[in-house]
Structures are given as structure tokens and as C-alpha cells.
Structure 1
Amino acid sequence: MFGRVRAWSRRHEKPAATLRVLPLAALCAILAIPYASMQPPVGSTSTHLSVAGYLALSAALLLPLLWRDRPIASFAVVSLVSFGQWVLQVAPLPANLAVLVALWAVAYRCSFRWALAACLVAELGVFLALVNWDTPTFGMFFSGSIFVVTIWLTGLYANTRRRYLEGLEERAERAERERDQQARMAAAAERARIARELHDVVAHNVSVMVVQADGAGYALDTDPEQARLAVKAISKTGRAALAEMRRLVGVLREDEATTIDYTPQPGLGQLEELVRGSAVPARLEVAGFPRDLPEGQQLAVYRIVQEALTNALKHGGPGVRAVVEIDYSGPELVVRVTDDGRGAAAPRSPDGHGLIGMRERVGMYGGAISAAPRQSGGFEVLARLPMVNAA
């Protein structure tokens, strides 16, 4: 129940402040009537007010407490009214407790400097109130000071707790924003990975299909059997590309988010099949003993070789041949794909993303890659990746 009341008061700060002041105002108004009916002692210098005067003075002391968003101004007004009351020698009223309420508000909402100044002003008020007393003593001043300091320390503690809770809420909100940001970054990275996969798969298979289609067109009149074999290769390559695209695009569909794909990712074990089935005549050379590398790193090597063979097919010219070299002998895995095509004379596609994708894949594992024409002719793609044993 108290938690609900506290939550409501935090959502409706000004109405809650008014409701907290109303009981004190009602009590002070009720007590002001007996004060007006009491006659001052004979020889007393205290000023006696009517019921309306006491009610007006109580209102002047209590109304500033409604300025919850301006605690310093509220305390200043209440203190000035109390000082004027002391100058006019009006006896203390229950409404003078507003000074302590305003003191607590300053300690709760303001900096320590303002809270200390308000505490000193309240202590001055205790001293001035005891000056008009018949026989003031140090014990009376000490008792009043203890009461004032207790209220002041309570406000400071509440201020510290409020700042601590606000800090916790801020850290929780920051952690939630960082978590959402990490989730968005992970989703973006996953989509970028899928986009690279799509590019590698589609570019390679479509390039093979284009070459086979061109060969079938040339052989259609002179060698129908060769044209028929080329058309079959086009059909096989197209089906493989569609199956791979369906697998990758299915990951992006929200309605299939629970579908688990058990198809293994290609790796170093499939390199020989990739080289043998490439439309570019190529051979695979392996140096050193193969290592058990993580699946992600194996996939990166596979895609780099696939993209390099695709580029050789697209830019190398007719009769191009390629060599794929995998070297395990050093501290790094070296992947080199060279061809004997046109090299620097080959036209470059301005909107190609193959080299960008290869750099991203190598960068994920702290490696480096270069792709440039060779001085002896042809083109070379050279990638170096630190070898990390699979967990």
C-alpha cells in the first residue's frame, strides 16, 4: 500500500505536496482559535492578535510550503514571516513549525551549501525565540538545536537516498539502452553476414550460369550435345543457387524464426569440391598439415576462395586458369588465389562488393587481405588469418 502511495506521489508531485500540507494547515487553524482567546499575562510585552490575525499569520507561514519546486524561496519566505513575527513580538504559533518543514525541503532538494545555510538560519531562529523568553538557558537552546539538527539530518539522508535511487534508475535505463543497442547491432551484423552470404552465393552461381549459357549459345549449331550438357549444368547450378538463397532468406523471415537449420556450413573440407566444380579451370594446392579451425573461420576461407574464383571468371577473360593455395605451415593460415587472366587490363565493376565482403570476413579474425594485379600478369588475392584452434 505504501509503495502505491509513494508511486502516486512521484507521478503527481504537486497534488501530493498539497495533500501533505493540508493536515498541518488544518491543525494550525484549529489551534489558532485558543491562542486568540487567551489573554496575555499582566506585564507581558507580547502582541495579542484576533482570531483573524492568527489565521492570517498561520496562512502566511503555511502557504509558502506549497512551492515544492522552489524550496529555497519557500524557506526564505517562511523565515522572513517568522522574523517579522519576532519583531512584532507575536508569541510563537503551531504554524511556526513550517520553518522546520521548509528546512527539511531545502536539505532534501538542494545542495549541501544551501542546506547548511538554511540550518544556520533555523538555529538563529531558535536563538531569537529564546531571547524573548523569561529565563532562557543553554539547555533550552541545546534542546531546540537538537530538534532542528535532527530535522536537517533527516532531510540530508533523504536527499542522499534520492540521489542514490536516481543513480540506480539512470544506470538501469542506460543498461537497458545499451542492451537494446547491442541487440540492434547484433541483428544488423547478422543481416550483413547474410547479405555477404547471398552476394557470394548468387555472384558465383550466376557467373557460372552466364558462362555456361554463352558456351551453349556458341555450341548450339556446331555441337548440340555440348550445348545440351551446358544447359544441364545451368539447370543444376540454378537449383543449387535457389536452394542456398531459400536457406539464407528464411533466416530473415520473422514467421520462421523458430525454424532450426541443420544444414552444415561449407568449410575447408569442401574446398576441393568448390575448386573442382568451378567454371574456371583451377587446381588446389595444400601445404602443411590441416588444422582444426573454427567453423566461422573455415566458412570465411571458403567464401574468400569462392569470391576470388568468381572474380577470375568475370574479369580474367577467355581461357583464364586459376590456382588456389592453402598454406598451414606458418603461424598464420595463408590463402592465395592467383589467375593468369588480364590482370590490370581487366575492367573493374564500380558497384562490386566482393572485396569489401572479403575484407570484413578477414577482419573478423584479425587477419589481412590484399587483392591486386600481379606484375607477371593475372590477378592475386592473398589473405592471412591467425590460426585459432577450434574449441
Structure 2
Amino acid sequence: MRVRALDLLIAAAVAAATMFPAVWYLPFDPGTLLLGLLASAPLVWRRRAPVVVALVTGIATTWLSLLNVLPDMPYGQLVATYTWAELAAPAWRIAAIVLTTAGVGISLVLPQENPPSFGYVGLMFVTAYALGAGVRARRDRIAFLEERTRRLTEEQAAAATNERARIARDMHDVLAHSVGLMVVQAEGGASVVRTDAGRAEAAFDAIAETGREALVQLRHALGVLREREPEPAALEAIPSLVERARRTGLDVRLERGAVPTLDPRVGATAFRVVQEALTNVVKHAGARRVVVSLASDEGGFAVTVRDDGRGGAAVFGHGLSGMLERVQAVGGQLRTGPRTDGPGFEVAATLPAAARP
């Protein structure tokens, strides 16, 4: 509504300035008044059809110039030039430049205006065009910045969601692994506390050590909330996982071949895969033997955990989705399923040496 009122006000002011000489200094001529209206009134619609309005006002302005009744400045055509420079599409701007240049040339050449008028009028139109182009550039810049801000906001929201998911996966891995081992060790210690004090003491020592390790890993997992980069567990910590699982009574063997230099994120992912797999074997599989294998694989890295337990999807509990997300997040692949060489279940992750962005 305000824009419409402004356009009406501009059209009225231009009409008054254009028709004033014809009304005040010249005999009454309806034709001249009509041309004055055509050179100003269409400005009401200048935002809807800037090139058409410029064409109509330009024809009327040129005609007034040929009749020698044009005021000192072609007000309507200057406003129209500003408008199409601001709002018209590139192709239409080129057409408008050609037509405006032709109209101005006719208005100056045929009435045989003096040479200084060419520079004076040309400067006015160049200024009008520059003002319109400047407003268009500023509007485009604002739109670009708003779009970039929107994208950055979406990216930050996605990053925050991914970080929450990562923390949730870390919490699940740490708690499920540590608590699962502590429960198994506590049950084992309680069953021999009266008959074998040494084994009971070892079980309770293992519980304490597992709890301390869980606290350390939780501090690392939650370190991002204290505005510092967490310290992810890596391949060097896998032997401690194997040792803690071995204390539950499992026969766990670690086979480690040649290992390439890995991105820290890949090392952390390998650690979590082994941690989740061992946790589920202890809690669900009913296995006696487990083999954890680490080796190079076609320029990348392979992690395999095989057991001789019951097999089946139940081995994983609720950790399979988190394990799969971790592996895919660094650009790796995860294969899970019953072993083909005997009873039991197999978890096999193929990871790149460097995590994808």
C-alpha cells in the first residue's frame, strides 16, 4: 500500500512538472496536455511493467520535444529509466538502453539542440541508470546474504544434530560396553566370593578398572560440551577392550596385521566397532571364543570380530544402527551376519585410511 501511494505521488509530481510550461506559458492545447499525461501518468505502473512504461513515456517525451514544449528536464523518462535499470531483466535492460538512446538522440537531433545539451541530457540519463543499477545491486547483495545466512543456519542445525547423534552413540557405546562387562564380572565374582576369594577379588578389581575407564571415555565423549575437542579412543586402546572382555571368561584373541596410518576419526570408528561388537557378544551371543582382527585392506583398513556363539540379529541388541552410522559417516562399509565357516556371528567393517569430510 505504501509503495502504491508513493508511485501515485511520483506520477502526480512528474505530471505537474511536465505540464506546467504548457499550461502556464502556452495557449491551451488539449493535445499537448494529453502528451504530458502520457509522459507521466504511466509511472503509476512502473514497477509492474518497467519497460512498457518506459516505452510509453519515452514516445510521449520525444513527441513533446519535437513540438518544443518539453520542460528543461524529461522528468517522466528519467524516472522510467531509473525504474527499468532497477527492476528489468538483463535482456530487457539491453533493449531499453537501445530504445532510450534512440529516443534521446531523436529528441536532441531533430529539434537541433545546441551541443552542450547533448552532454547535459546524456549525463542525466546516465545518472538515472546508475542510481537504478546501484539499488538493484544492493538488493541482489542483500538477497545473496540472506540466502547464505539461511544455508549457514541450516548447516549449523545439521551439524548440531549430527553432534548430538555422535554423543548419543558414544554414550551408548561406553555405557553398554562398560556396564555389560561390569554386570558379567559382578555376577562371576558373586558366585565365587565364598569359594575362591582370589577370583572374586580379581573380578571386583576388574569392575573398578572398567568403571574408571568408562568415566574417562565419558569425559572424552562429552568434552565437546565443554567447548574443547574430545579425545577419541583409537587403535591403541583396542587391546584394553580385548583384555576386559577376556576377564569375563571369554577366550578373546587379537590378531593385528600391518595397519596403515589412519585418520583419527577412522581410528575412533574402529575402536567403537570393536567395543560394540564385544559388548554384544558378552551380553547376547553366549559365545566362548572371539577373534578380533585388524589389518590393511586395499589401501584402507579392515576390522573383523568373529565369535562362535548363537548368531542371529539378536547378537547386536540395539547397537547395530549406531555402528552402521559410524562406519558410513567416515565413508566405510559394514557387513554383519552369521559366519559362513562355522557357527557364530561376524562383524566386518571396511574403513578408508582417511575419513571423508
Structure 1 and Structure 2 fold alike (TM over 0.5)? yes
Bigger shift: 360-369 or 22-31?
Answer: 22-31
Aligned-partner residue type, residue 49 of structure 1: F
Match for 1:69 among 47, 55, 61?
47
Match for 1:275 among 242, 246, 249?
242
Q: 1:294 to 1:377 in 2, by over 3 A?
A: same
Bigger shift: 182-191 or 235-244?
Answer: 235-244
Give the TM-score normalised by structure 2.
0.71
Provide the identity percentage: 30
Give the TM-score normalised by structure 1.
0.66
Structure 1 residue 200, shift from structure 2 partner:
0.8
| 1:115 equivalent in structure 2 | 96
Aligned equivalents of 1:290, 1:118: Cα separation in 2: 73
| 2:349 equivalent in structure 1 | 383
Aligned equivalents of 1:72, 1:161: Cα separation in 2: 18
Bigger shift: 228-237 or 300-309?
Answer: 228-237
Aligned equivalents of 2:241, 2:315: Cα separation in 1: 24
- 1:179 lines up with 2:152 in the alignment: yes
Aligned equivalents of 2:255, 2:60: Cα separation in 1: 95
1:60-99 to structure 2, matched below 5 A, reads 62=40, 64-65=42-43, 67-70=45-48, 71=50, 74-75=53-54, 78=57, 92-94=69-71, 97-99=74-76
| 2:302 equivalent in structure 1 | 334
Structure 1: gaps (5+ residues):
1-11, 37-47, 131-135
Q: Does the aligned pair in 1 maintain the 2:46–2:80 contact within 8 Å?
A: no
Deviations 1:246-266 (A, max 9, x none): 5534534xxx43xx47x7432
Q: Count residues in correspondence.
A: 346
Structure 1 residue 118, shift from structure 2 partner:
5.6
Bigger shift: 288-297 or 376-385?
Answer: 288-297
What is the DSSP-based 3-state SS (H/G/I as helix, E as strand, rest coil) of the residue aligned with 1:277? helix
Q: 1:335 to 1:320 in 2, by over 3 A?
A: same
- 1:208 lines up with 2:181 in the alignment: yes
Bigger Rg over Cα: 1
What is the DSSP-based 3-state SS (H/G/I as helix, E as strand, rest coil) of the residue aligned with 1:303? helix
Q: Does the aligned pair in 1 maintain the 2:43–2:53 contact within 8 Å?
A: yes
Structure 1 residue 125, shift from structure 2 partner:
7.8
Bigger shift: 96-105 or 173-182?
Answer: 96-105
Structure 2: gaps (5+ residues):
none
Deviations 1:186-232 (A, max 9, x none): 32222222222111101101211332344356557766876676556
Q: Does the aligned pair in 2 maintain the 1:312–1:320 contact within 8 Å?
A: no
Q: 1:250 to 1:365 in 2, by over 3 A?
A: closer
Q: 1:289 to 1:189 in 2, by over 3 A?
A: same
RMSD value over aligned CA atoms?
4.7
Deviations 1:75-122 (A, max 9, x none): 576568779989xx9861528834433542464243237626863894
Q: Does the aligned pair in 2 maintain the 1:126–1:141 contact within 8 Å?
A: no
Aligned equivalents of 2:122, 2:143: Cα separation in 1: 31
Match for 1:313 among 253, 273, 282?
282
Q: Does the aligned pair in 2 maintain the 1:28–1:94 contact within 8 Å?
A: yes
Match for 1:266 among 233, 236, 244?
233
